[in-house]
């Protein structure tokens, strides 16, 4: 797959965090960012969120009965 260079500007704290997380995972910052974008745009993430929303909708009454209305 051909690569395209993408330059972004982030604050120093974000850059430091990206470097640290990439290092902890044994990968380059480039690869770390690439994987984050793939995860964010991936079907698995969307499917999980939709399933979680459906679950909460289906069991809302059970949760409300169990923990009460005021703990939402």
pLDDT in the model for residue 20:
97
Q: Which two tokens stand for residue 22?
A: 């990439």
CA distance 49 to 43: 10
pLDDT in the model for residue 56:
84
pLDDT in the model for residue 24:
96
pTM over cut 0.85: no
14-71 per-position pLDDT tens digit: 999 999 999 999 999 999 998 888 887 876 667 777 888 888 888 888 878 888 765 5
pLDDT in the model for residue 7:
92
Domains for the chain: give ranges and CATH numbers: 1-41 (1.10.1220), 43-72 (no CATH)
């Amino acid at each position: 797959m051909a690569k395209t260079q993408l330059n972004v500007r982030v604050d120093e704290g974000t850059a430091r965090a990206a470097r640290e997380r990439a290092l902890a995972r044994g990968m380059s910052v480039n690869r770390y960012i690439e994987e984050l974008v793939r995860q964010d745009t991936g079907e698995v993430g969307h499917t999980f969120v939709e399933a979680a929303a459906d679950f909460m909708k289906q069991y809302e009454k059970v949760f409300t009965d169990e923990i009460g209305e005021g703990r939402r």
